[in-house]
Amino acid sequence: MGEFVRLEVADGVGTIRLDRPKMNALNVQVQEEIRAAAAEASDRDDVKAVVVWGGENVFAAGADIKEMADMSYTDMVRRSGALQSAFSAVARIPKPVIAAINGYALGGGCELTLCADVRYAAEDAVLGQPEILLGVIPGAGGTQRLTRLVGPSKAKDIVFTGRFVKATEALAIGMVDKVFPADQVYAEAVSWAGRFANAASYALRAAKESIDRGIEVDLETGLEIERQQFAALFATEDRDIGMRSFVENGPGKAGFVGR
């Protein structure tokens, strides 16, 4: 468990909880603790799905600019790869991941939400990539993941201007998936993640990998990725359980074991 980031587990759901007062600024220490929490969530068999949450007041207001201000080009050449890979560790968790967004999710905070499979936001949440106002660009996946999520035109508008995106607009353009009253966001995210507590873990893993890898390649290659993942699941105990249960008892009644 890190000083500012911890993994809390209950009923099959792991919450990666950011807790660095006051605004969850994402300094190097926090970045590395996010990486460690993602690795732990990936490895633990009792974690079936993951919620990423910054608390009731703020998701994360961005990078620690005071820390970055004195960094040179060579400093950032050394650090930028680790910055990206810390966030990519969340994107690569081989389980369903949802971001629960309260308050501000700006800069690196917004980029962290983009690493989730699904995003739930509070009605008063504010997202954005304001790096251009500091004379730089998003460096933890914002130019890439945001573009894949909302399309190049909308991504360019958000990145070029550095403007804030309120929850209603974020929902309309697909930047978030659902909007709730602020005091319900985390509970709703946990409820979504909890749906997978007794699911077929390797099938979920295969589905996520097929989608994530497939969108990066041409259709024929994507279909081959899918075919291989599909066939491989016939080696799992859960596939046998699921199909036998369907034949004997009908759909949706299988008791999966995660193997």
* Active-site residue, from 25, 36, 41, 63: 63
Q: For domain 201-249, give the fold.
A: Lyase 2-enoyl-coa Hydratase; Chain  A, domain 2 (1.10.12)
Q: Is 111 a catalytic residue?
A: yes
Q: Distance between CA 29 and CA 66 in Å, rounded? A: 14
Nearest residue to 60 via CA among 143, 127, 150, 9? 127
Annotated active-site residue in 2, 14, 54, 108: 108
Q: What is the pLDDT of residue 63?
A: 82
Domains 5-194 and 201-249 share a fold: no
237 flagged as catalytic: no
pLDDT value for 150: 97
Rounded distance between C-alpha atoms, residue 233 and residue 64, angstroms: 43
Active-site option among 25, 33, 54, 131: 131
Query: Quick one: how many helices (H) and strands (E) in the chain?
Result: 11, 9
216: annotated active-site residue: no
- Give the pLDDT of residue 99: 98
Q: What is the pLDDT of residues 65-124, one digit of tens each?
A: 888 898 899 999 988 998 999 999 999 999 999 999 999 999 999 999 999 999 999 999
Buried b (16+ CB within 10 A) or exposed e, 145-157: bbbebbeeebbee
Instruction: Give domain limits for the chain.
Output: 5-194, 201-249
| Low-confidence spans in the chain with pLDDT less than 70 | none
pLDDT computed for residue 48 by the predictor:
97
Does the annotation mark 56 as catalytic?
Answer: no
CA distance linking residue 213 with residue 193, whole number of Å? 22
R_g (Cα) of the chain, nearest Å? 19
Active-site entry in 100, 111, 121, 155: 111
Domain boundaries 5-194, corresponding CATH code? 3.90.226.10
Q: How far apart are CA 183 and CA 235, in angstroms?
A: 43
Q: Under 8 Å CB-to-CB from 142, ≥6 apart: which residues?
A: 107, 110, 111, 114, 129, 131, 159
d(CA 123, CA 103): 9
pTM for this entry: 0.94
